[in-house]
């Protein structure tokens, strides 16, 4: 039994989730370089952060795959991930070290992916599982 082709909005949302997963992998690499280069105040905390970032990258990649194959848990997980991304963006625009451009760079892709994931659900109700 073959899986029906995903809707265009699902493909775009999955591609954006895939890019987010790659961004998390790049962040993990940057964390590793920072740990090796400058040393960390707490190596255990730095390693835990790297492991959690890699787990996040794997999770977002799994959401991307699930959206492509029409699994509802992929959309659900992707939506939750986008709310977390938007929360980070809001944090980047507030506080002592606020930087609005970083907030936009983080929040805009998160908002776009969130909208696409919501539209994917509405555009393709046959994929509900």
Question: Which pLDDT score, from 0 to 100, does residue 38 have?
Answer: 81
DSSP the chain: -PPPPPPHHHHHHHHHHHHHHHHHHHHHHHHHHHHHHH--S-HHHHHHHHHHHHHHHHHHHHHHHHHHHT-HHHHHHHHHHHHHHHHHHHHHTSSTT--HHHHHHHHHHHHHHHHHHHHHHHH-GGG--
Question: Which pLDDT score, from 0 to 100, does residue 108 have?
Answer: 96
The total number of residues written for the chain in this structure: 129
Query: Which whole number is the average pLDDT over 20-36?
Result: 94
Query: Which whole number is the average pLDDT over 32-49?
Result: 87
Mean pLDDT of the chain: 89
> 129 pLDDT band (50/70/90 cuts)?
low
60-84 confidence digits (pLDDT tens): 999 999 999 989 899 999 999 999 9
**What's the pTM value of the predicted model, to 2 decimals?**
0.85
């Amino acid at each position: 039994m073959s899986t029906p082709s995903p809707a265009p909005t699902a493909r775009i949302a999955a591609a954006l989730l895939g890019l987010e997963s790659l961004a998390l992998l790049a962040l993990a690499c940057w964390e590793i370089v920072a740990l090796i280069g400058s040393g960390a105040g707490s190596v255990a905390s730095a390693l835990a952060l790297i492991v959690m970032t890699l787990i996040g990258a794997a999770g977002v990649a799994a959401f991307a795959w699930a959206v492509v194959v029409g699994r509802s848990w992929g959309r659900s997980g992707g939506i939750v991930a986008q709310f977390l991304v938007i929360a980070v963006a809001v944090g980047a625009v507030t506080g002592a070290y606020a930087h609005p451009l970083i907030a936009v760079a983080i929040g805009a892709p998160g908002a776009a992916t969130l909208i696409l994931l919501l539209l994917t659900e509405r555009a393709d109700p046959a994929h509900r599982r």
